[in-house]
């Protein structure tokens, strides 16, 4: 069983179907991979300016919306300066 | 169910997963479940320069429903065995009907 158990209480990156990226601490999840994030922020990427972080607080994301959940390596994340990163948003999914 | 079993035999192999958002992620297959959700370790994103979003991510959980392709290491898949198992499963399901 490939569960999300190992990610509870860790900082994770959520990639959603529309290409949005949200980081937060995984507070809980269920069988349908619905997920609750605490202290969450959306990371808005653009080519013209650095990454903008929009605070979202406690957030529940429906499992159907989720593409990927990644565990964030805190050291690497802290040492990257988001303001210097220029990138397109991740593409939304196409069937 | 058959493919689930195939994936289970491939744990600890390097696989490349192409997602429906055109992102390709290579990683070590850690586990799979009945929805074909996939856990990957030591991941690398194809075209990291264009997609720096996952720079700090070393292992991830991919939802089975958004996987388009999985590239498997051919030397670790016994295609003959897979064909036989497929026929056996097809024969069984015909019998039940």
**Residue of chain B nearest A90, judged by CA positions:** B51
Give the pLDDT confidence of B29-81 residue by residue, as tens digits.
Answer: 999 999 999 999 999 999 888 899 999 999 999 999 999 999 999 999 999 99
Residues 61-80 of B with CB under 8 A from A: 61-63, 65-66
Give the pLDDT confidence of A1-41 residue by residue, as tens digits.
Answer: 568 889 999 999 999 999 999 999 999 999 899 999 999 99
Residues 1-20 of A with CB under 8 A from B: 1-4, 7, 13, 15, 17, 19
Please tell me the predicted confidence (pLDDT) of residue A1.
54
- Please check whether residue A50 touches B, CB under 8 A: no
What backbone torsions phi and psi does residue A31 show, to the nearest 5 degrees? -55, -35
Structure tokens at A27: 């507070």
Characterise B90 by phi-psi region: left (phi > 0), alpha (psi -120 to 50), beta (else).
alpha
Residue appearing with tokens 């490939």: A2
Please tell me the predicted confidence (pLDDT) of residue B96.
77
What backbone torsions phi and psi does residue A38 show, to the nearest 5 degrees? -105, 155
Please tell me the predicted confidence (pLDDT) of residue A73.
94
| Helix/strand/coil for B32 | strand
Please tell me the predicted confidence (pLDDT) of residue A60.
97
Structure tokens at A57: 């607080």
Characterise B47 by phi-psi region: left (phi > 0), alpha (psi -120 to 50), beta (else).
left
Please tell me the predicted confidence (pLDDT) of residue A2.
63
Band the pLDDT of B1: cuts 50, 70, 90: confident
**Residue of chain B nearest A45, judged by CA positions:** B53
Q: Residue B25 contacts by C-beta under 8 Å, 6 or more apart in sequence?
A: A68, B16, B17, B19, B40, B43, B44, B45, B46, B54, B60, B62
Q: How far is A36 from chain B (nearest CA, A)?
A: 15
Q: Cβ–Cβ of A13/B50 closer than 8 Å?
A: no
Give the pLDDT confidence of A51-88 residue by residue, as tens digits.
Answer: 999 999 999 999 999 999 999 999 999 999 988 999 99
From residue A91, give the alpha-carbon distance in Å to each of A49, A87, A88, B20: 18, 11, 8, 9
């Amino acid at each position: 069983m490939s569960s999300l158990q190992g990610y509870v209480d860790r900082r994770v990156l959520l990639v959603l179907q529309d290409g949005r990226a949200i980081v937060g601490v995984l507070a809980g999840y269920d069988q349908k991979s619905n997920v609750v994030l605490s202290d969450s922020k959306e990371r808005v990427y653009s080519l013209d300016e650095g990454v903008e972080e929009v605070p979202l607080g406690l957030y529940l994301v429906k499992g159907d919306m989720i593409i990927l959940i990644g565990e964030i390596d805190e050291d690497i994340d802290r040492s990257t300066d988001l303001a210097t990163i220029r990138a397109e948003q991740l593409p939304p999914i196409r069937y | 169910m058959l493919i689930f079993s195939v994936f289970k035999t491939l744990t600890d192999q390097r696989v490349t997963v192409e997602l429906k958002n055109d992102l390709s992620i290579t990683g070590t297959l850690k586990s799979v479940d009945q929805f074909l959700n996939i856990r990957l370790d030591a991941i690398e994103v194809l075209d990291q320069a264009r997609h720096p979003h996952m720079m700090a991510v070393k292992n991830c959980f991919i939802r089975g429903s958004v996987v388009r392709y999985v590239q498997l290491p051919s030397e670790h898949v016994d295609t003959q065995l897979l064909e036989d198992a497929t026929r056996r499963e097809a024969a069984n399901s015909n019998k039940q009907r």
